[in-house]
Amino acid sequence: MTGSLRLSTACIAGALAGRLSIGLGRGRGETLSGRVILALDPKAISKLGAGRDIILVSGTNGKTTSTKNLTSILRDFAGEGVSTSESGANMPAGIAALLAQKPRNRFAVIECDEMYLPKIYRLLSPKVVVLLNLSRDQLHRTGEVRKVSRLWHETFTKDDVTIVIDRDDPFLEYSVANAGHVIRTTFGGRRHPDAATCPSCAAILDWSTGDYLCPCGLGSKLPDVRADKRLNGPQRNTVLVIEAARLMGAEILADEAEDLINRSPDRIYDFSSAGQTISTHLAKNPESWRQALGEVTSDQVILSVNARGIDGRDTSWLWDIDYSKLLGKKVVCTGERRLDIAYRLSVQGIDVSVASSFAEAAETLANEPIQAIVSYTAFQDLLAADLGINKGNSK
């Protein structure tokens, strides 16, 4: 079988498998479709990516949102077809499926799991790679942040790829130390919670200026882009996305960029329970919990933690977070692992109570503003209960 016949047969079989999967109600079919494609043609990813302008997006937090954001910016500003995964599939099978769907699209914006990024990078020869951030994830997911940083450090060695990073993150600066072309964006520096020591040489990093510097030279590179220090996590990701879009030819004026940054999607949803509107943050790992805690302004807070499937059964990551923002507030813990989070908070001197459900938690609180932070499946439960009154981006 010739190479092109093998590929086209694989793509037809993959499309059929995808449709079958959807027909049987087993999801969007991307993963099954991609598995069939790769089983019939193991080189399908590089063949389907050849000659296309590819951008890879990776990082601990905000991959799916940033990929969607970049796709929409490129569609608007470059006026070209853009391939992407609508479901956030970010491993090889999902990537094969999205490339097979519209092979004539010039652009492909591809979300990539951190550990698979080196493999996909080598298979696809992207023009641009966007590295959003690196922080500790849950232990069952990505592994230790230094391990990922070292893996990336050994990966990015080509001269013809531009890598866009938040240079305030020492792990990203180390990741691109061998890269030929880097766009460094700074947000005025902020201390990285996992970077007491240098990712390169393990010396104690000097953070005394609010920025980091190591005697080995890490941290000494000047930024190319200086952005506002006050931006939150999703907004910082949007700044990187805009730089990537510009590299792909999109002309984005300063006021258009500002508008895009201000419209950055956030993981905040309004739910209604016990007659209250509860502003709810979806957070899934220490960094997204830190960001959500940073935005808590109410005196009443519900925390809901499950440890099911995608949440991961291990809740030890709860100990990686500083909850001092909750001191003096009325906090109610719920979810299947409410005792885990309640105990963690009590160790930090926070007065907590527990409730058997989100609704019961809301009932115990006064008729004053309530904010909630919930883990992934706890959030899915809220959606399933149809309590949402403004699903998504309530800011």
User: Least Å distance between CB 287 and Zn ion?
Assistant: 22
User: Least Å distance between CB 85 and Zn ion?
Assistant: 36
Nearer to Zn ion, 100 or 198 (CB): 198
Q: What is the tally of helices (H) and strands (E) in the chain? A: 14, 14
Phi, psi at 390, each rounded to 5°: -155, 85
User: Least Å distance between CB 206 and Zn ion?
Assistant: 10
Q: Can you give the binding site for Zn ion, defined by CB under 5 A?
A: 198, 200-201, 203, 214, 216, 218
Phi, psi at 175, each rounded to 5°: -60, -35
User: Least Å distance between CB 175 and Zn ion?
Assistant: 14
Nearer to Zn ion, 109 or 218 (CB): 218
| Tokens encoding 167 | 């240079």
For 156, the enclosing helix (H) or strand (E) is none
| Of the candidates 192, 194, 178, the residue with the CA atom closest to the CA atom of residue 143 | 194
CA distance 312 to 256: 39
| Of the candidates 37, 77, 57, 36, the residue with the CA atom closest to the CA atom of residue 127 | 57
| Of the candidates 352, 167, 152, 331, the residue with the CA atom closest to the CA atom of residue 243 | 167
> Is residue 395 classed as helix, strand or coil in its secondary structure?
coil
Nearer to Zn ion, 176 or 326 (CB): 176
| Tokens encoding 331 | 């906090």
Nearer to Zn ion, 91 or 151 (CB): 151
User: Least Å distance between CB 170 and Zn ion?
Assistant: 9
User: Least Å distance between CB 204 and Zn ion?
Assistant: 9
| Residue 352 bridge partners (DSSP) | 331
Give 2's Cβ-side CA count (13 Å radius): 3
Nearer to Zn ion, 217 or 294 (CB): 217
Nearer to Zn ion, 75 or 221 (CB): 221
Nearer to Zn ion, 186 or 200 (CB): 200
Q: Are 176 and 165 in contact (CB under 8 A)?
A: yes
User: Least Å distance between CB 184 and Zn ion?
Assistant: 17
